[in-house]
C-alpha cells in the first residue's frame, strides 16, 4: 500500500467556539428573575441588603438654616471695617433657637444651631476677638474679616428636600446609605429576602484544614480553599449559606447532594467537576435531575462554567482552580445574586490607569490580570498569573480587564477594576 492508498484519518469534531463573557452574562441574567419575599429589618441591620422600597423624605435635611461652624452669627450690613465691634446679646447652642438679631449685634452660635432671624452670615471664632465689657454691659466681639452673605451657613434642605426620593428600590445598602435613611427618620427598612444558597465542592483530592496536618497530607491532596472564599463572598452579598462540604467524586454522591440541595435553596453553587473528564460528575448529575448548559467562556482565568436548573433551584458550577473560581464568581455569580434580590446596579466600574509592566503573551481569550497600585500611581503585575495561584488575589488591588489578542507595553493605559468594586 502506497502512501496514497492510506485510509483517511477520521475527521475531528469541530471545536466548540468559546462564548464571549458579555454573552454569557446576558444569558445568565436572563434567568435571574427577582425572588419573591420582602423582609422588614432594623436600619441597624440592613447593611449589604437590597432595598425593596423607595425611600421618600417627609422633611428637609437640614430642617433649618444652621451654622456650619462655632462662631458668631452676624448681619453683613453691620460690618464697617476691621475694627468693627458688635454686641453679643444671645447664645445659641445646637438644639435650641435664638431670637431676631438686633442691629449692630451678634449671636454666639455653635455648629448645627439654627441661624437667628436677621443674620445672614457666620464668622468662625478663629476670625473674631471677644471683648469683656464688664458686668454692666453685654460682651462684645471684634470681627476681624469682612463677612460675606451666606458664609458658613448650611441652608435648609440643601442635603435632602422634603418629598424627594433619597434611595431607590433595588439599591444595595451601604453604611452611608443607612445613615441617610436614618437622617430622614427610617428606623426600619423593607429589603429583599436573602438568597438561600447551598454550597459544596467536589474532588477526592480535597481535604479540610484542621482535618489533616500539613505533614500528613497524602500525595496529590490539597486543602479546600474555594469553600472558604466562596462562603465569605456569599455572606457579603447577603445570602444565607448551607455548607454541604466536600462531595466525593462519585456520580451517585453528586446526584444525592444536588437533589437534597434543590429542595430548600434558591441557588446551588459548586466548584470543581464542570469539565468533561471521567471524574467530573457534575454534568451528568445535573442532567439526571434537571437541565444544564455547559459553557466554555472566552475568558482567562475561568473558562469552564455551568448553569442549569434543578426543579425551582438555579445551579451554577464554577471551575475548580481557585483563581478561576474567584474571578468567575466576581464577574458572573455576583451580578446574578444581586438580580435575584431585585438589585438594579449590576455593572462594575472600571477606570483607565497606566500599566507599569509589559505583557507580551497576548491570549485569544479576554484576560483578567491580577495587579496592584505601585508607589508612582501605576499598576504593577503579579509575576505568576496562573489560575491556581491564589496569592495573586490577596496581593493585588484588582484586575486589569485586557481584551483578546491584546499585548500590553509599559506605559499603556489599561482598564482597571478594583476588588473593592466587587466586595463593597
The whole-number pLDDT of residue 320 equals 87
pLDDT recorded at residue 1: 43
C-alpha cell read off for 366? 479576554
pLDDT in tens, 297-354: 999 999 999 999 999 999 999 998 999 999 999 999 999 999 999 999 999 999 999 9
pLDDT at 224: 84
Are residues 122 and 116 in contact, defined by beta-carbon separation less than 8 angstroms? no
Mean pLDDT of 224-246: 93
Mean pLDDT of 194-209: 88
Query: Per-residue pLDDT averaged across 150-172, rounded?
Result: 95
Encode 206-223: b = buried (16+ Cβ within 10 Å), e = exposed: bbeeeeeeeeeeeeeeeb
Residue 5 clears pLDDT 50, i.e. is over it: no
User: What's the grid cell of residue 76?
Assistant: 453683613
Q: What is the mean pLDDT of residues 185-198?
A: 97
Q: Which CATH number fits domain 351-423: 1.50.10.20, 3.80.30.20, 2.40.340.10, 3.40.50.300?
A: 2.40.340.10
pLDDT tens, position by position, 40-69: 999 999 999 999 999 999 999 999 999 999
Cα distance between residue 12 and residue 10, in whole Å:
6
pLDDT tens-digit map of 79-112: 999 888 999 999 999 999 999 999 999 999 999 9
How far is the C-alpha of 401 from the C-alpha of 328, rounded, in Å?
13
Range 329-334 contact pairs with CB under 8 angstroms and sequence separation of 24 or more: 329/230, 329/233, 330/233, 330/419, 330/422, 331/21, 331/25, 331/299, 331/302, 331/368, 332/24, 332/25, 332/28, 332/305, 333/233, 333/269, 334/233, 334/237, 334/422
Q: What percent of the chain has pLDDT over 90?
A: 78
CATH class of 21-36+194-340: alpha beta
21-36+194-340 and 66-154: identical CATH topology: no
Q: How do the domains of the chain map onto residue ranges?
A: 21-36+194-340, 38-60+165-192, 66-154, 351-423
Q: For residues 293 and 273, what is the distance between their CA atoms, to the nearest angstrom?
A: 14
For residue 238, what pLDDT is reported?
A: 92
Is the CB of residue 346 less than 8 Å from the CB of residue 403? no
Q: What is the mean pLDDT of the chain?
A: 91
> What three-state secondary structure class fits 58?
coil
Architecture of the CATH domain 38-60+165-192:
Alpha-Beta Complex (3.90)
Other C-beta atoms closer than 10 Å to the C-beta of 129 total 11
CATH of domain 66-154: 2.170.190.11
pLDDT at 307: 95
Asked which of 124-138, 194-208, 400-414 is least confident by mean pLDDT, the reply is 124-138
pLDDT grade for 223, boundaries at 50, 70 and 90: confident
Report the pLDDT averaged over residues 7-15: 49
CA distances from 308 to 28, 147, 269, 288, 317 (A): 10, 68, 11, 12, 9
CA nearest 280: which of 197, 219, 223, 201? Answer: 201
In DSSP terms, 71 is beta-bridged to: 109, 124
Q: What is the largest CA-CA distance in the chain?
A: 129
Amino acid at each position: 500500500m502506497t502512501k496514497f492508498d492510506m485510509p483517511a484519518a477520521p475527521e475531528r469534531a469541530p471545536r466548540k467556539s468559546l462564548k464571549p463573557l458579555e454573552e454569557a452574562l446576558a444569558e445568565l441574567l436572563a434567568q435571574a428573575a427577582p425572588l419573591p419575599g420582602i423582609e422588614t429589618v432594623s436600619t441597624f441591620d440592613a447593611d449589604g441588603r437590597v432595598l425593596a422600597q423607595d425611600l421618600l423624605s417627609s422633611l428637609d435635611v437640614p430642617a433649618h438654616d444652621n451654622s456650619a461652624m462655632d462662631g458668631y452669627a452676624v448681619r453683613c450690613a453691620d460690618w464697617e471695617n476691621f475694627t468693627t465691634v458688635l454686641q453679643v446679646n444671645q447664645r445659641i447652642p445646637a438644639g435650641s433657637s435664638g431670637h431676631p438679631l438686633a442691629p449692630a449685634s451678634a449671636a454666639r452660635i455653635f455648629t448645627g444651631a439654627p441661624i437667628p432671624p436677621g443674620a445672614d452670615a457666620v464668622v468662625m471664632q478663629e476670625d473674631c476677638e471677644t471683648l469683656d465689657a464688664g458686668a454692666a454691659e453685654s460682651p462684645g466681639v471684634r470681627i476681624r474679616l469682612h463677612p460675606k452673605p451666606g458664609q458658613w451657613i448650611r441652608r435648609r434642605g440643601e442635603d435632602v428636600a422634603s418629598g424627594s426620593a433619597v434611595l431607590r428600590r433595588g439599591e444595595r445598602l451601604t453604611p452611608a446609605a443607612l445613615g441617610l435613611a436614618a437622617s430622614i427618620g427610617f428606623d426600619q427598612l423593607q429589603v429583599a429576602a436573602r438568597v438561600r444558597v447551598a454550597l459544596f465542592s467536589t474532588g477526592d483530592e480535597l481535604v479540610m484544614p484542621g482535618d489533616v496536618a500539613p505533614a500528613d497530607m497524602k500525595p496529590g491532596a490539597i486543602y479546600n480553599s474555594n469553600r472558604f472564599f466562596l462562603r465569605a463572598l456569599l455572606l457579603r452579598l447577603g445570602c444565607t449559606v448551607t455548607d454541604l462540604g466536600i462531595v466525593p467524586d462519585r456520580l451517585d454522591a453528586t446526584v444525592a447532594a444536588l437533589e437534597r440541595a434543590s429542595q430548600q435553596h434558591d441557588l446551588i453553587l459548586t466548584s470543581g467537576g464542570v469539565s468533561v473528564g471521567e471524574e467530573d460528575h457534575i454534568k451528568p448529575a445535573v442532567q439526571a435531575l434537571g437541565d444544564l448548559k455547559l459553557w466554555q467562556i472566552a475568558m482567562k482565568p475561568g473558562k469552564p462554567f455551568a448553569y442549569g436548573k434543578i426543579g425551582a433551584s438555579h445551579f451554577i458550577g464554577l471551575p475548580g482552580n481557585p483563581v478561576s473560581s474567584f474571578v468567575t464568581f466576581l464577574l458572573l455569580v455576583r451580578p446574578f445574586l444581586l438580580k435575584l434580590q431585585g438589585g438594579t446596579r449590576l455593572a462594575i466600574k472600571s477606570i483607565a490607569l497606566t500599566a507599569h509592566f509589559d505583557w507580551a503573551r497576548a491570549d485569544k481569550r479576554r484576560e483578567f490580570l491580577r495587579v496592584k497600585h505601585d508607589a508612582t500611581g501605576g499598576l504593577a503585575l503579579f509575576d505568576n498569573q496562573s489560575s491556581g495561584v491564589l496569592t495573586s488575589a490577596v496581593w493585588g488591588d484588582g484586575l486589569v480587564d485586557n481584551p483578546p489578542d491584546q499585548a500590553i507595553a509599559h506605559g499603556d493605559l489599561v482598564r482597571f477594576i478594583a476588588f473593592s468594586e466587587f466586595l463593597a
